[in-house]
């Protein structure tokens, strides 16, 4: 498989303050892991600068303006809702959007089979009018709407395996029949959404996981609920909100996954993409806050995307 890997130094300059779990060290650790010889075949891309027009596919201009006005000239600014901004936040956030949209362009042009976007800040908590939960703009939602509007794709599926529910992605597509959103997440846990009764117009699938859920139970939930729904939906493009904070060593949650579980799920999603999407799959980094567990999990995820 031909796999794109997006990164950029600007992602490191979104500074969140000492001790914050969503920090630049996350990407440094991932970058180091993906320098190993096993990843020599990755097609390495520098994340381009996204546009306000791309962001407006999901977020109204007032949301963009409010965020940009809140960015400080020096230091860090806590604007509430678990959002910390610094002088480098704009460039990081715009390049995250640019990365996912460029991945859509290149994947749909047939320049590669799939992509992994190692971006920050993450995105899946960002609602159309509210930045929250470390997330400024909803990267994966923007990618989905970009693919819909620019390439007229009829069916786009988003699978979110971050340990926290992607309330922002759900909100963006709650009444959009052409987008299927499926999330597995610990419950109860931040942000408090993601009940099975939240189904949109039949296009939202929420699979809560209890504290202590093991890989065996996790796989069964996917086999019984999410994978059959994806096969029935037959997406033209598969997007993945790839959060690795359901790992057993992650400090922010209590699910007990290990690297082999992420490998298994990646293989299953690639099979769906092969069957229905001409292999077209774009994975976008969300959470994961134990540095060693994050790097190991991303490594197995990307190695699987490469078909190895």
Is the distance from CB of 284 to CB of 230 less than 8 angstroms? no
Catalytic annotation, pick one of 8, 14, 125, 165 = 125
Is residue 245 within 8 Å of residue 156, measured between CB atoms? no
Measured CA to CA, the distance from residue 12 to residue 50 in angstroms comes to 17
Residues in the chain: 308
Cα–Cα distance for residue pair 282/46, rounded to 1 Å: 16
Q: Is 39 exposed, middle or buried, given 0-12, 13-18 or 19+ CB atoms closer than 10 A? A: middle
DSSP H or E run through 169: helix 167-172
Cα 63 to Cα 132, 136, 206, 234, 235, distances in angstroms: 12, 9, 27, 33, 30
What is the maximal distance between C-alpha atoms in the chain?
A: 50
* 124 tagged catalytic: no
Asked if 207 and 187 count as a contact pair (C-beta separation under 8 A), the reply is no
Catalytic residue numbers read 125
């Amino acid at each position: 498989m031909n796999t794109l890997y997006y990164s950029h130094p600007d992602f490191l300059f979104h500074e969140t303050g000492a001790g914050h779990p969503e920090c630049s060290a996350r990407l440094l650790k991932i970058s180091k892991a993906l320098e190993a010889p096993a990843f020599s075949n990755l097609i390495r891309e520098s994340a381009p600068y996204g546009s306000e027009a791309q962001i407006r596919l999901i977020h109204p201009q007032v949301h963009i303006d409010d965020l940009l006005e809140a960015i400080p000239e020096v230091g860090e600014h806590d604007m509430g809702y678990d959002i910390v901004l610094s002088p480098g936040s704009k460039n990081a956030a715009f390049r995250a959007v640019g990365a996912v949209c460029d991945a859509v362009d290149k994947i749909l042009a047939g320049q590669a089979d799939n992509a992994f976007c190692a971006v920050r800040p993450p995105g899946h908590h960002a609602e159309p009018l509210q930045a929250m939960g470390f997330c400024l703009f909803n990267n994966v939602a923007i990618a989905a709407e970009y693919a819909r509007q620019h390439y007229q794709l009829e069916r786009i599926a988003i699978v979110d395996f971050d340990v926290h529910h992607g309330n922002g992605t759900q909100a963006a597509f709650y009444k959009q029949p052409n987008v299927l959103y499926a999330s597995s997440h610990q419950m109860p846990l931040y942000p408090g959404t993601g009940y099975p009764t939240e189904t949109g117009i039949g296009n939202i699938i929420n699979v809560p996981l209890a504290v202590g859920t093991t890989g065996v139970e996790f796989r069964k939930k996917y086999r019984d609920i999410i994978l059959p729904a994806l096969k029935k939906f037959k997406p033209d493009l598969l997007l993945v909100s790839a959060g690795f904070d359901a790992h057993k060593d992650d400090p922010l949650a209590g699910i007990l996954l290990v690297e082999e579980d992420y490998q298994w799920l990646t293989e299953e999603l690639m099979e769906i993409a092969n069957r229905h999407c001409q292999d077209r799959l774009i994975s976008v980094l969300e959470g994961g806050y134990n540095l060693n567990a994050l790097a190991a999990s991303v490594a197995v995820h990307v190695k699987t995307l490469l078909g190895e």
